[in-house]
Structure 1
Amino acid sequence: MTASHHRSEYLDATQQLQIRLERERRLWWAQWPTWLLIAVIHGGWLGTLVFWRALGNVPATVLMVWWCAWYMSLQHELIHGHPTSNPAINRLFGYLPLAVWYPYRLYRDSHLRHHVDADLTLPARDTESSYVSSVSWDGMNRPLRALLWLNKTFWGRLLVGPAIAIASTWTQAVRQPLRGDWRYVPMWLGHLAMLGALLWWIDAQSGVSPLYYLLAIAYPAQSLAMIRSYYEHRPADEHKQRIVINEAGPVFRLLFLNNNYHLVHHDFPSLPWYLLPRVYRARRSCYIARSGGFHVRGYGQLMRQFGFKPVDAPVHPHGHG
């Protein structure tokens, strides 16, 4: 099958899907799977806290790690216009700092900038790039370089990936007002106030200390969520070939709300999570071709191949990016 045929097939499917999406976006009830997801995640998180002592410390902790990681996937859906076309309504279901580390607004603004496909992986332009420029690399000390190399292994990603992301975000939050930029200070103050109230309530309700929630629940949840982005993008000349197709198993597909079909998501950012597999299966060969073979057969493949070996280099191959 020729590249032009792939392109024509893809465009026909795109036009049909866009028509259907516009029709569904006008009907809030058409998004019932996302409404159900909202109820399950919030209800599960709350129920685990209420019945913490009955469940036992270890099972309850495992459940809370799952709920918090799943909540981050839900926030991603809310940002992209689900389950309603009203951002203010969607924000209500993702504003609480259940996953702790980032304000909803910061994640929203950063992630939407990430969807400029032409900028993907470029250190100075992609807000979710895992690469650094050669200039930044030259200015780093050896321990920091070693940390970035470790972050390029699968298990290193789980261990230090959250710390790198959290430190970078929070350092920026402190530096901005010191440089005279106070735009995000109200956002951070609101986030920290909600977080403090939430941690106090959790301690009072279930006896889960703030430190335990941060280190035993929120940090592992961030690690679990970062499995998806471990090898989600790669440098390539053609920007669609920078986006992975990962044929993950059912558990990870559910946890990541099918965002493992990442090229499909970048093609249709407003496509609901439960339709991504259907679109991918209908045009599987076309998507693998468009990704330039950037195709992974599940996260187990990444774990086996790159558990202790870097998947690629921390420095962007284009130098300055």
Structure 2
Amino acid sequence: MAEYLGDSQQRRIATYLATWMARTEWPTWLLVIGIYGGWSLTLWFRFNLTLLPTTLLLIGFCVWFMSLQHEIMHGHPTRYIWLNKMLAYAPLAVWYPYTLYRESHLRHHNDADLTLPGLDPETHYVDAAVWQASGRHMRTLYRWRKTFWGRMLVGPSMAILDTWKVAFQQVSCGDFRYVRMGLTHGGLLAGMLAGMQHFFGISWWYYLLFIAYPAMSLAMVRSYFEHRAAPDCKHRIVINETGLPMRILFLNNNYHLVHHDLPRLPWYLIARVYQDDRTDYLKRCGGFNLHGYGGLIRDHGFNPIDAPLHPIAAVRYVL
């Protein structure tokens, strides 16, 4: 458990984890069945639904599946890594092999490195060397990614390219695990896309451009302002008190500081733990508290949330 927790808090959380719900993990098992079942039934009734409703439903299930993958990589619903991997490995969301995503994300959980370019694999800041080497167009993209709509439009492609760039660099250094990951994922993805086109009339390019890419954009709503640069690492992690629909879609990961403090806490207990100690969490996040995502859209739809150059680097370079 997190070192900041008092004895009473630890006992309370231990009590939650000892319940039948947490021991069986039935909410997560139900989620697995619901997401895979909903995605499959949407395809099964594709011709009754017509293309637009099918597209919207598949986008929703893909976003939910990415939230499920995140939950699974933190050790749910079983204690067996190989079984969890099987539950999360399907290429529904297209862009990353589950193993590659898991390795990258778990490195992100070193809170001391949060937001720091070159250390945090999920940062959306750039360091001084990258900024200096970037041309005018690339700097524009970095700034545009810091707006809400820019994040939705170019954020997925930039994240995909960055992740695969790191993977190729590892291969060039002799780490051939990424080749195996890519071939396995690519084979499963090719089979899935071919089956969708053959049986349901959804072409591979349509699924990539109009389902998988928008799904990743929607998933990035949560992470748009999930972290900020701050001296205290806990002040870098948001508490977003959003409404129930987004909490369900993102599996309570909007209470992001709780998740970073207790990364193995299952999704269905995060809100309860947060509400138990809400005052303490709001203090520990240093005022980094949001009330949903609507304000971000209103205030930062086309205005950058902050500078793309990390403040540590900004001392040396002017934007």
**TM-score normalized with structure 2 length:** 0.93
- The answer on whether the counterparts of 2:237 and 2:285 sit within 8 Å (CA) in structure 1 is yes
1:149 to 130, 143, 149: 143
| Aligned residue in 2 for 1:90 | 84
| Aligned residue in 2 for 1:117 | 111
| Aligned residue in 1 for 2:289 | 295
In structure 2, relative to structure 1, the CA distance for the partners of 1:17 and 1:270 (3 Å cut) is farther
- 2:27 is aligned with 1:33: yes
State the shift of 1:34 in Å. Answer: 0.6
| Aligned residue in 2 for 1:67 | 61
Alpha-carbon distance in 1 for matches of 2:63, 2:182: 21
| Aligned residue in 2 for 1:268 | 262
State the shift of 1:177 in Å. Answer: 3.0
Question: Number of matched residues?
Answer: 314
State the shift of 1:273 in Å. Answer: 0.5
- 2:206 is aligned with 1:212: yes
In structure 2, relative to structure 1, the CA distance for the partners of 1:16 and 1:146 (3 Å cut) is same
Alpha-carbon distance in 2 for matches of 1:33, 1:68: 18
Alpha-carbon distance in 2 for matches of 1:26, 1:113: 29
- 2:191 is aligned with 1:191: no
The aligned amino acid for 1:12 is D
In structure 2, relative to structure 1, the CA distance for the partners of 1:60 and 1:68 (3 Å cut) is same
Q: Percent identity?
A: 52
Equivalent residue of 1:127, what SS?
Answer: coil
1:15 to 10, 34, 37: 10
- The answer on whether the counterparts of 2:13 and 2:273 sit within 8 Å (CA) in structure 1 is no
1:248 to 238, 242, 250: 242
- The answer on whether the counterparts of 1:246 and 1:295 sit within 8 Å (CA) in structure 2 is yes
Alpha-carbon distance in 2 for matches of 1:313, 1:15: 39
- The answer on whether the counterparts of 2:73 and 2:102 sit within 8 Å (CA) in structure 1 is yes
- 2:121 is aligned with 1:127: yes
| Aligned residue in 1 for 2:176 | 182
State the Cα deviation string for residues 60-88 of structure 1 (Å, max 9, x = none): 10000000010000000100111111111
- The answer on whether the counterparts of 2:55 and 2:210 sit within 8 Å (CA) in structure 1 is yes
- The answer on whether the counterparts of 2:238 and 2:256 sit within 8 Å (CA) in structure 1 is yes
| Aligned residue in 2 for 1:283 | 277
Equivalent residue of 1:98, what SS?
Answer: coil
In structure 2, relative to structure 1, the CA distance for the partners of 1:90 and 1:17 (3 Å cut) is farther
State the Cα deviation string for residues 262-305 of structure 1 (Å, max 9, x = none): 00001111111111111111111110100000001111111111
- The answer on whether the counterparts of 1:28 and 1:84 sit within 8 Å (CA) in structure 2 is no
The aligned amino acid for 2:165 is T
Alpha-carbon distance in 1 for matches of 2:20, 2:74: 12
- Greater shift, 215-224 or 301-310, is seen at 301-310
In structure 2, relative to structure 1, the CA distance for the partners of 1:103 and 1:312 (3 Å cut) is same
State the Cα deviation string for residues 18-69 of structure 1 (Å, max 9, x = none): 533664599752x111111111000000011111110111011000000001
Cα RMSD after superposing both structures? 2.1
| Aligned residue in 1 for 2:73 | 79
State the shift of 1:173 in Å. Answer: 3.2
Alpha-carbon distance in 2 for matches of 1:24, 1:131: 41
Alpha-carbon distance in 1 for matches of 2:29, 2:261: 24
The aligned amino acid for 2:135 is N
In structure 2, relative to structure 1, the CA distance for the partners of 1:14 and 1:319 (3 Å cut) is farther
- The answer on whether the counterparts of 2:240 and 2:256 sit within 8 Å (CA) in structure 1 is yes
Equivalent residue of 2:177, what SS?
Answer: coil
Q: Unpaired segments of 5 or more residues in structure 2?
A: none
In structure 2, relative to structure 1, the CA distance for the partners of 1:236 and 1:271 (3 Å cut) is same
State the shift of 1:320 in Å. Answer: 8.4
| Aligned residue in 2 for 1:314 | 308
Equivalent residue of 2:245, what SS?
Answer: helix
Alpha-carbon distance in 1 for matches of 2:4, 2:169: 49
The aligned amino acid for 1:137 is W
